[in-house]
Amino acid sequence: MLQRLENEARLTEEAHRLYGLLKSVSKEDGSPWTYDDCLAAAPYTLSINRFKKEQNAVILAHSYTTPDLVYGVADYRGDSYELALKARETSADIIVFAGVWFMAETAKILNPDKKVLIPAGRAGCTLADAMTGEDMQKLRAQYPGVPALCYINSLAEVKAQCDACVTSGNVFDIAQKIPGKELIFVPDLLMAENLEAELERRGTPKKIISAGGSCCVHDKYRPENVQKLRANYPGIKVVAHPECPIEVCRLCDYVGSTKGMSGYVAQSEATCFGMLTEFGLVNRLEAEHPDKKFIWPFGVCRYMKQNTLANTLEALIDPRPEQVVEVAPALAAAAKKSIDKMFELTQ
Ligand code: 13P
Ligand code: SF4
């Protein structure tokens, strides 16, 4: 009886902790996170946080995963660059990466001797899945001598054939540092257009040669979405990710990585923001700026959302084979060079 009461007290305490963090966060249907949602999450977050400690594991969560993961169990939350950096620096024995496959794969490449787990299993990304190593090999053969950058949203076999990898947070600065008038940038055709325009704007133009595909979330935004936001919310500031089409980015007040967009919102005196990006970032901003208003037309990454509290717990207790990240050593060593180059060029 006493034991049961103690358990109930711990669950109530955890639900209150979660509710304190999530009470200003909305769900996809517009309704808010409730105390009952937090009470339902509490047994998972308590167990995950206990197993994490016992196993000396660290949980890295991308801002596009769900807020119960981001605020309930993650040790670090952030954009692709910040999380790659954390993965590189951690002294934990196990890395649990709540994100998509290329992110966990990058963590494994940086930590060949550690156990790296991804709760969502082989959760893809329409960008990373748009290009194979063979495609990259052909492209490089077609443009001999032209330097090549790849977006971190790419497979290890593509990274292995590039001079450096980049994230949305450092792509413009790194591209500017690469000598020459031509540059290969893969596998995001839309970001390639934004990159060419930004280099032109900075007075360091380059012809960008690209191949690959687009992000199935960000490629759906259109100029009409920006126009509608401005018409319906006078004074609104509209922000977008550089994976959006260039004609959309041109109309926005700020274009940048998930970290960049958060920084823009934090420093802005505006109180209302139009968010042309994935819903998870909207949730982070709602949690961290309850005094500001965020208007989100649409955009959910079904791959990121495959990470849940339940499969995070499963990965920690007894991972399924697809939750354990493995990269062949020779491939990892080749891909690591382009990742290390990114860290070097970001200094
Ligand atoms: P960030 O590096 O900006 O977090 O972007 C990752 C991503 O997958 C965007 O769709
Ligand atoms: Fe890939 Fe787009 Fe999802 Fe980011 S939001 S992981 S780019 S599909």
DSSP structure string for 296-308: ------TTGGG--
Q: Is pLDDT of 149 > 90?
A: yes
> What atom of ligand 2 comes closest to residue 302's alpha carbon?
3
- Share of residues in the chain with pLDDT > 90 (%): 97
Contact, 281 vs 275, CB < 8 A?
yes
Contact, 109 vs 336, CB < 8 A?
yes
Q: Is pLDDT of 109 > 80?
A: yes
Residue nearest ligand 1's atom 3 by CA: 257
Query: Whose CA is closest to 296, among 26, 24, 22?
Result: 26
Q: What pLDDT sits at residue 347?
A: 81
CA end-to-end span of the chain, whole Å? Answer: 58
7 vs 67 pLDDT, higher one: 67
Contact, 191 vs 168, CB < 8 A?
yes
Question: How far does residue 46's CA lie from ligand 1's centre (Å)?
Answer: 28
Question: How far does residue 221's CA lie from ligand 2's centre (Å)?
Answer: 14
pLDDT category at 62 given cuts 50, 70, 90 is very high
Contact, 165 vs 149, CB < 8 A?
yes
Q: Average of pLDDT values for 79-100? A: 98
Phi/psi zone of residue 182: left (φ > 0), alpha (ψ -120 to 50 degrees), beta?
beta
Q: What is the mean pLDDT of the chain?
A: 97
pLDDT category at 3 given cuts 50, 70, 90 is confident
Question: How far does residue 39's CA lie from ligand 1's centre (Å)?
Answer: 30
Residue nearest ligand 2's atom 2 by CA: 215
> What atom of ligand 1 comes closest to residue 278's alpha carbon?
10
- Measure the CA–CA gap between 135 and 187, rounded to whole angstroms: 10
Question: How far does residue 126's CA lie from ligand 2's centre (Å)?
Answer: 6
Q: What pLDDT sits at residue 2?
A: 75
Q: Where are the alpha helices (DSSP H) in the chain?
A: 2-22, 35-54, 67-72, 80-89, 101-110, 133-142, 156-159, 171-177, 189-201, 223-232, 246-249, 258-267, 279-288, 309-317, 329-346
Residue nearest ligand 2's atom 5 by CA: 301
Query: Whose CA is closest to 160, among 129, 132, 141?
Result: 132
Q: What is the pLDDT of residues 293-345, one digit of tens each?
A: 999 999 999 999 999 999 999 999 999 999 999 999 999 999 999 999 999 99
pLDDT category at 131 given cuts 50, 70, 90 is very high
- Share of residues in the chain with pLDDT > 70 (%): 100
Q: What pLDDT sits at residue 163?
A: 98
Q: Average of pLDDT values for 179-207? A: 98
Q: What pLDDT sits at residue 184?
A: 98
Ligand 2 probe mutation, 81, 100, 152, most atoms within 8 A of CB: 100
Q: What pLDDT sits at residue 1?
A: 78
- Measure the CA–CA gap between 264 and 129, rounded to whole angstroms: 30
Give the number of whichever ligand sits closest to the CA of residue 255: 1
Map out the domains of the chain with their CATH numbers.
2-123+304-323 (3.40.50.10800), 128-215 (3.40.50.10800), 218-295 (3.40.50.10800)
Ligand 1, pocket residues at CB < 6 Å: 79-80, 153, 167-169, 215, 241, 243, 257-258
Ligand 2, pocket residues at CB < 6 Å: 64, 100, 125-127, 153, 215-217, 243, 278, 301, 303-304
Ligand 2 probe mutation, 243, 258, 279, 302, most atoms within 8 A of CB: 243
> What atom of ligand 2 comes closest to residue 99's alpha carbon?
6
pLDDT category at 5 given cuts 50, 70, 90 is confident
Q: Order the strands of the 76-78 sheet from edge to edge.
A: 76-78, 57-62, 94-98, 115-117
- The predicted model scores a pTM of 0.96
Q: Average of pLDDT values for 7-34? A: 96
Q: Identify residue 337 by its one-letter amino acid code.
A: K
Contact, 168 vs 256, CB < 8 A?
yes
- Measure the CA–CA gap between 41 and 15, rounded to whole angstroms: 7
Q: What pLDDT sits at residue 223?
A: 98
Question: How far does residue 168's CA lie from ligand 1's centre (Å)?
Answer: 6
Query: Whose CA is closest to 103, among 146, 69, 63?
Result: 63
Q: What pLDDT sits at residue 6?
A: 83
DSSP reduced 3-state for 311: helix
- Measure the CA–CA gap between 87 and 68, rounded to whole angstroms: 21
Q: How far is CA 347 from CA 86, 110, 283, 317, in A?
A: 15, 18, 30, 38
